[in-house]
Every structure is written in structure tokens, then in C-alpha cells.
Amino acid sequence: MSLPQCPECNSSKVWKDGLRKTSEGYVQRYICRECGYRFSETSCNSSEDSQHVQKIQRQILNCADALPYNRQVSVALARGSKNLAEVESRNEKQAAGATEARTEDIQGKIVEFLWYLKKQGRSESTLKQYARELRHAAKSVNILDPEEVKKSIAEKDIKETTKCNLVYAFQTFYKFLGIKWNPPQYKAAKTIPFIPQEQELNILISNASKTVSAFLQLLKETGIRSGEALKLQWSDIDFERHVVRVTPEKNSSPRILPLSQTAIAYLQRLPKKRQKIFNRGSVLTTFFKLRKRLAFKLNNPRLMNISFHTFRHWKATMEYHKTKDILHVMQLLGHRNIQNTLIYITIDNALFQDQTDEFHVKTAKTAEEACKLVEVGFEYVNTICDVHIYRKRK
């Protein structure tokens, strides 16, 4: 079969240019080597006389001036770019959907874990701490990958104690999920707590709002934890007897502690709009702003080292310095293990080493006499000629 002539220039120099699919089937496409004209020849029936030529488009191949009119490649590239953009967009949506699904899955597992801890009797403060640590970590790493979590903890510029808390939280989380993990070993460094001067505590109390000043005065007088103070309800305050009933945290012992007239006056100024005396968010936000403002105003950076727990350390130190009775301090703080209380002996010896002390001195010859002296705050000093010597600060 001979090739058709170009309908544009009647040249017989024609090349085949692929097949074209139509409603009537596939037809042959051609291109003219002389003028670059492209066309196809379609047969409507079996008769050779019924052939006609369908013009497609001009593409002049041997004319440099006509190159800008060659839009077939540009159109194809544009169409390909559009298709590629659509594919990339679809891939991005799929990736975002997968990430969102994974995030929802992780959040769901965290909720299940917290509910498990609640059923195991863990305290609300423990649940909040675990929720805060897990959700914060989930923002930057896949917490379902133990090795990725281990790397993230190692790279954090935080205290060893904080790393120990993170490891313990994830160890409990992975145990619940049944995920095997070889946890890293961090050792919490023991430090001596910061003990401010009493006037620095008074500065914060006197410059605070009514609510925060009452909160800080309560911490200063009783040495209770901030979480225990935030749980207090009006029914826990006995305004007649000047005492407060403390619901313990962290497996400590419940206590009933005395309040001064000053603390009672601070509390009586507060409105009784709800059962709880203090609002956690309001107290924390106000205190942090107050501390920063006063530290800058008074040019005293030591104020920035004062936290709610600093009031507890200060009270324990002053109470031991006054009584020299470590068992009394242990009961005041609600400690179940005296090892947690012995630190205040070290602090007292360091802060008040240059002060001269006066003592009451008693002796005991029998175990019964010695027990009675210990019960009222005397401490053993020495034994001379079978006589036990005890003393207590005046």
C-alpha cells in the first residue's frame, strides 16, 4: 500500500506517525517531511473511493521561525506537570491522612493507658504527669517506637532526674502495651534544695493577690505540698480551732496542722464561691508572673529559684532548727520514710553552723526514762558512768 500525499503541499515524502484511536477503530497517522503537516487517513467503509483525509494540525519541522507555534510538546509537558502535581497532592493527602490516623491511634492508646492507671488506683497528679509527658513527646517522635524514644531522651538537654521520670513513664506505658523495651539507665543526682531567707518569702506573699498571698502563707506555715493545698476545701479549714485537715499526696500520711491568726485572716478575705479554696490555673499563672516581676524590680535573681516546694523545704528546715527533733519534722511533712527527712539535718548544720545554741539537759538511767525524754523531743548526746545524757534546744 502506497503512502498518501500530504494534503497541504502534495508531497509524497510522508512518514507514518503512530496510530490514533477513534470511535470507528484505530487509524494511521502521518507526518509530512517537507512541510511538517500532520494528518490521518480514515476509511468510513470498505470502498477505496470513500476514503477521506482528516486534518490534525500543522507542525513545520524545517522552519526555525515556526518553532514557537509548536505547542504539542508544551501542551504535553503542561498536562504532565498538572498530572504530576495532582499525584503529588494526592500523595501528600494520603501521607497527611496516614499521619493523622497514626496520631489518633497514639492519642487513643494514651487515653487507654491513663484509664488503666486510674483503675489501678493511681492518683490524679500521677495521671496528669504521665499524660503531659507522653503527649508532649508524641508531638516530636513516634512514641510507639521505643528506640526513637530512647534517642529523643538521650538528646534532650534536661536534668538526669527528669530523664529518670521520663524513662519510668515510658517503661510503664510500654508494659501496658506489651512492647519490649530495654530502658536506658539514668541516675538521679541528689541535690541540696534551695533555702531562701524568710524576708524573701514575705516579699512574695505581701506583693501577691489575695488568693495567691493566702496560698503562699498557707504553704509557709504548714509545709504542705502545693498539690495538697490545691485540693483543700472550705470544709477542711476549722476557723474556730485554727487548724487545717490535709488530704495527703504521694502516699504520705494525713495530718491536722495548726494555723496562725495571720493565715486565718488571709483565708477569711477570700470569697467562698465554690467548694475548693484555690483554682490551680489561676494560682500558678499569677505566681510565676509575680516572681518574675519582683526579681527584675528588686534586682534579686534569687527570687526566681523560689517555687511552691521551696516553702516546704524552708518550713522543714526552720522546724528542725527550732526543735532538733527529726521525728517531729517527719510527722509534719507526712513522710513515711525518715530517709527523706534526714536531708534537713544537713541543711541545718550548714546554714546555722556559726550560731551558738542553748539547750535543756536531762539524764536517764533506765530505758523507760530515756523513752519519755525522746517522746518530748530530747536527743541522745552521750553516756557517762552508766548515765545517759539528753538535750533539747530551748
Quote the cell numbers at residue 227.
498539690
For residue 346, pLDDT beyond 50 = yes
The per-residue pLDDT for 141 is: 87
Could you read off the pLDDT of 114-146 as tens digits, one per residue? 998 888 888 777 888 889 888 888 888 888 888
Q: Which domains does the chain have, with CATH numbers?
A: 14-70 (no CATH), 95-177 (1.10.150), 198-347 (1.10.443.10), 356-393 (no CATH)
Q: Indicate the pLDDT class of residue 248, thresholds 50, 70 and 90.
A: confident
CB-based burial, 60-98: b 16+ in 10 Å, e otherwise: beeeeeeeeebeeeeeeeeeeeeeeeeeeeeeeeeeeee
Q: What is the pLDDT of residue 210?
A: 95
> Cell numbers 485572716 label which residue?
265
pLDDT band at 355 (very low <50, low <70, confident <90, very high): low
Please give the residue that has the higher pLDDT: either 371 or 295: 295
Q: Report pLDDT digits (tens) over 357-369.
A: 677 888 888 888 8
Question: Tens digit of pLDDT for each residue in 317-328?
Answer: 999 998 889 999
Report the pLDDT value the prediction gives residue 99, as an integer from 0 to 100: 54
pLDDT: which is higher, 26 or 84:
26
- Does residue 181 come out as left (phi exceeding 0), alpha (psi in the -120 to 50 range) or beta? beta
What percent of the chain lies above the pLDDT cut of 70? 82
Residue scoring higher pLDDT (54 or 250) = 250
Q: What is the pLDDT of residues 167-192, one digit of tens each?
A: 999 999 999 989 888 888 888 777 88
What is the per-residue pLDDT across 261-286, written as a single tens digit (0 to 9) for each? 999 999 999 999 899 999 989 999 99
In this predicted structure, what is the pLDDT of residue 124? 78
What's the mean pLDDT when you consider all of the chain? Answer: 82
Q: What is the mean pLDDT of residues 285-295?
A: 95
Which of the four pLDDT bands, split at 50, 70 and 90, describes residue 71?
very low
